[in-house]
Amino acid sequence: MELKITNDRENALMGRREITFYIDGEEKTPSAAAVKKELCKKLNLDPESTIVTKVEQRFGMRRAECAAHSYKEHGAMERNEPAHLLERVKKRSAKQDGAAEPKAEQEQKAKPEAEEEAAEAAK
């Protein structure tokens, strides 16, 4: 994965660094997590306060256009970024931390279904 930065500017009002870049040589569109990891490694950024806002690859192209925001403070990221992007990041981090949480959620969802089946069998 070859990452080339096209624009890197400081936005003092939002307390962040806005980075636009592209990635060459990928047949498949890279995941936001892989892009974030590569960007943080290249620019020495904090992964906890960096969020990838765009990964876009056109059909038949081997270049993905990307954008990311890197904040000085983690709290500023939560105030300024849309809720759907923050939720996406939280879900990914939960999956990376361990698979125990999703299994627990599945068991909780299965409990009401089992109770309904038991009620129907009792009738």
pLDDT value for 114: 62
Measured distance CA(69)–CA(5) in Å, rounded: 13
pLDDT value for 118: 65
Using alpha carbons, select from 73, 38, 42 the residue that is nearest to residue 52: 38
Asked whether 109 and 53 are in contact (CB, 8 A), the reply is: no
Domains and CATH numbers, the chain: 1-81 (3.30.70.330), 83-123 (no CATH)
Bridge partners of 8, per DSSP, are 19
Tens place of pLDDT for every residue, the chain, 123 residues? 889 999 999 999 999 999 999 999 878 888 888 999 999 999 999 988 999 999 999 888 889 999 999 998 888 888 888 888 888 888 877 776 665 445 555 555 556 666 666 666 666
pLDDT value for 67: 96
The DSSP element (H or E) to which 103 belongs, if any, is: helix 100-122
